[in-house]
Structure 1
Amino acid sequence: MKNLFFENIEKNLLVPAYFLAFWLNVQRLLVSETALKFLNVTAKILFAYYGIRFLTNFVTPLVEHGLGKRNTFNQKQTATVIKILLQILIWALTLTILLDNLGIRVSALVTGFGIGGVAIALASQSILGDLFSYFIIFFDRPFELGDYIVVGEFRGTVENIGIKTTRLRSLDGEELVFSNTDLTGSRVRNYKRMNLRRVVFRLNLPYQTPLAKLQEIPRLLETIIREQQQASFDRAHFAELGASTLIFEVVYYVLSNDYNRYMDIQQAINFRIKAEFAQRNIELAYPAQTIFLQKENTHGC
């Protein structure tokens, strides 16, 4: 950074310095007023031009250096947009100051540009809204490239974050396109940043299951879950007397945000439950309905 700073000074400030020395020496000479006015105008224009170059070349490395530390999405695209906006701002401010120093009334000019800017802003309200939303996403970082997010009823992996739209790839393979304004105004669930996945599942057993076997089941389920890697047991309870079955509720945590890893663990748990229940002659309930018929005595006493 230091080398770039000194190189910038050498490229953009030496010429104004030489011209300043020339201008100071000319002031001591007997020259006409017209020549002095010409030199004054030339000096102001020259200083304004090289001042713009100096500020632009000074700001550009700072932007690139700052974005380089973030290691975020679309780094080149974001840096380009920010640099263009800063250059427009520097040129606008410098030209305004230059025109004012040249004796041109800039108040009417600024008012005209302001009215024109309002008209342009109203005409391109949607585009500007998406642009500002892009910077909100960039600085706030609710999601990044490769994150799996859910927006309303839509879900998918973030493939591209553009200046106007963000594109997701759904599990079915289709491309989902959202405007940046819609994303910043919606509730976004980011599964990539989920450190723990809470899993709840239930087991249904028939009412004919003996009490002694029911009392074994919570400890058995705890043992099965603790055997799994990246799984943390929370609880297992005889939770409810259902309409036709006895219901056990089991809760555990998967110590990973990988959905495939969660399914592997759940599959292993299901296999172990099936094997252990078969070994202990514990049956799982299946959808059924038992009807009890009572025969009425039609004969009188």
Structure 2
Amino acid sequence: MPPFTVLIANAFFGFLTLEIAGNNIASYITVLIAFVLTLVAVKVFKYIITRKIKGLIAKTKNDFANMLVDAIEKISLPFYLVIALYISLKLVSLPEPWPSYLHYLLIITVTFYSIRILQQILIFALRNGMKGTSKGVTRLFENIIKIFLWTIALLLILQNLGYKIDTLIAGLGIAGIAIAFAMQKILEDIFSAFSIYFDKPFEVGDFVVIGNDMGTVKDIGLKSTRIQSLAGPELIISNREMTSARIINYKKMEKRRVEFSFGVKYDTPLEKLEKIPKIVTEIISKIELAELERVHFRKIGDFSFVFEVAYFLKDPSYIKYMDSQQQINYDLVREFRKEGIELAYPTQTIMLEKAS
């Protein structure tokens, strides 16, 4: 009778050679060891990569590197499990359709995590490139990036699963046309938001005039633009109207040109009329931000002698303009009263002639 140890050894080797589903027990043990080693290896690799990038961040304080570390750290356990499972099961012979299922699982997993990292990189670049832009416009571009990336991911997965994506793309095109017709007005506003962003006719904080309305732009959204009017209420105007309307943007100008006129009575003596340009020049020269362009006796009107004044204000602010014009008006009234010059107002003189 063989020794006990020999019996144990024979039993053990017999167990290892025992076949289950076309593979012996030794192969499955090898798979298990390979699975554990692969799982440990990819986790160590992740640790080394993130540590290297964190070292770079500490030296350069690079925001992109910081974001990349965050993206890598978000790769969770299912990714590593699938990678380890795929590599280890390659060591054994699996009956169909299990190899195909394993291949599909790998494609779906790798595509999912790759798109997540790519999405985070693109959104990071977008936010850095659109600093100071309305949150609504930034969100619009972020959503477009997400939809585009995940649509590409879905098509890639379907193609690798053996589906013909040509028919699917054609179907999506027809559906897209139908949706576009149904949402025509909304899409017009969204495309107008793109136009406002790229063309930049106005930005948040600009003082604008649209038709009879004026105010400061508070927010540029996907569908509408909000303007804080001078009277107090908030105006909400569709982006479609904002891109089709005639807009005066005072924020873009470096200085404001102001033109105004006034009339004096017909009975004003000539010597006093000749003093008026000098009086106006002296008044405007005292205004800190004002620079006189001209003062002219423009015309003889229906009920007054009309003078026209033009000057530049070295500040685009509407409030500064109103403050300066107010001071000019006060000084004009004060100086004219000193000189005995009367401002005109509409009058009608009726001459009565006695009958002879």
1:295 is displaced (CA, Å) by: 6.5
Q: Which residue number corresponds to residue 61 of structure 1?
A: 124
- 1:90 CA displacement: 0.8
Per the TM alignment, residue 62 of structure 1 is displaced from its structure 2 partner at its CA by 2.1
Is the counterpart of residue 155 in structure 1 residue 214 in structure 2?
A: yes
1:71 aligns with 2:145: no
> Which residue does the alignment assign to 1:101?
160
SS at match of 2:97: helix
Q: 1:34 aligns with which of 94, 97, 107?
A: 97
Whole-angstrom distance in 1 between the partners of 2:65 and 2:75? 15
User: TM-score normalized by structure 2?
Assistant: 0.72
Percent of matched pairs sharing the same residue: 39
Residue 219 of structure 1 aligns with an amino acid whose one-letter code is K
Structure 2 vs 1, CA of residues 109 and 284 (structure 1 numbering), >3 Å: closer, same or farther? closer
Contact 1:134/1:180 (<8 A) preserved: yes
Query: Which SS does the other structure have where 1:116 is aligned?
Result: helix
Correspondence 1:128 to 2:128: no
Give the number of equivalent residue pairs. 293
Q: 1:290 & 1:36 partners in 2: Cα distance?
A: 107
**Equivalent residue of 1:247, what SS?**
strand
Structure 2: distance between partners of 1:141 and 1:34: 57
Structure 1 CA distance for aligned equivalents of residues 214 and 330 of structure 2:
30
Q: Does 1:246 align with 2:305?
A: yes
- Find the residue that maps to 1:235 and give its secondary structure: strand
Q: Residue 119 of structure 1: CA displacement?
A: 0.9
In the TM superposition, 1:175-194 aligns within 5 A as 175-194=234-253
Q: Does structure 2 retain, via aligned residues, the 8 Å contact 1:13–1:54?
A: no
Unmatched segments (≥5 aa) in structure 2: 1-63
Contact 2:123–2:142 at 8 Å: present in 1 too? yes
- Quote the Cα distance in structure 1 between the aligned partners of 2:139 and 2:345: 62
- Residue 195 (structure 1) aligns with: 254
Mean CA deviation greater in 109-118 or 4-13: 4-13
Matched to 1:51, the amino acid is S
**What is the TM-score normalised by the length of structure 1?**
0.83
- Max Rg structure: 2
8 Å Cα contact 1:206-1:244 kept in structure 2: yes
- Range moving further from structure 2, 78-87 or 112-121: 78-87
**Per-residue deviation, residues 109-166 of structure 1 (Å, max 9, x unmatched):** 2222221111111111111221222232233333334433222233333344332222
Change (3 A) 1:284 1:46: closer
RMSD after superposition: 2.9
Question: Which one has the bigger helix percentage?
Answer: 2
Distance 1:186 1:275, change over 3 A: closer
Quote the offset at 1:179 in angstroms.
Answer: 1.5
Shift of 1:225: 0.7
- Deviation larger for 127-136 or 149-158: 149-158
Shift, 1:96, TM fit: 0.6
C-alpha distance in 1 between matches for 2:344 and 2:107: 90
Whether the 8 Å CA contact 2:217–2:225 is kept in 1: the answer is yes
* Partner SS state of residue 288, structure 2: coil
